[in-house]
Structure 1
């Protein structure tokens, strides 16, 4: 899963079960699909969800940093 001291990129199967309330993969897939979640299904039929996406969907993601970029248009107008 993850390296020591880091958060895994993907939710564990247990975490997907906790979110959906279902143990069977096909029911997890149905739950995620009906709610508009983005996920992939792996080779053994389990839904795979990115951790940051799940945090965003559950309303507990970190605020996105504001990226400031230079306004090159203002330089051309001068």
Structure 2
């Protein structure tokens, strides 16, 4: 599975198959996206999941304190 939504997924999301209409739909709704060199709309899969309400992955340990428990 790609890190980007594929053409079918973008079409399902936006309701448009034409690239320019997909970009317009995303822009109007405040979505971040990029255009490839060939003009294809690129939306990160994780970003789309986050925008659609899927909770962010919180399994990453964000502690900045050292773990001294293994020293004893």
Which of the five TM-score ranges fits, normalised by the shorter chain?
Answer: 0.7 to 0.9
Q: TM-score, normalised by structure 1?
A: 0.72
Q: Which runs of 4+ in 1 moved over 6 A?
A: none
TM-score, normalised relative to structure 2: 0.78
**For residues 41 and 68 of structure 1, what CA distance do their matches in structure 2 show?**
36
Which secondary structure does the structure 2 equivalent of 1:9 belong to? coil
1:1-78 residue pairs with structure 2 within 5 A? 7-65=1-59, 67-70=62-65
Sort the Cα spacing of 1:54 and 1:42 in 2 relative to 1 into closer, same or farther, 3 A. Answer: same
Supply the RMSD in Å over aligned alpha carbons: 1.7
* Gap runs ≥5 in structure 1: 1-6, 72-78
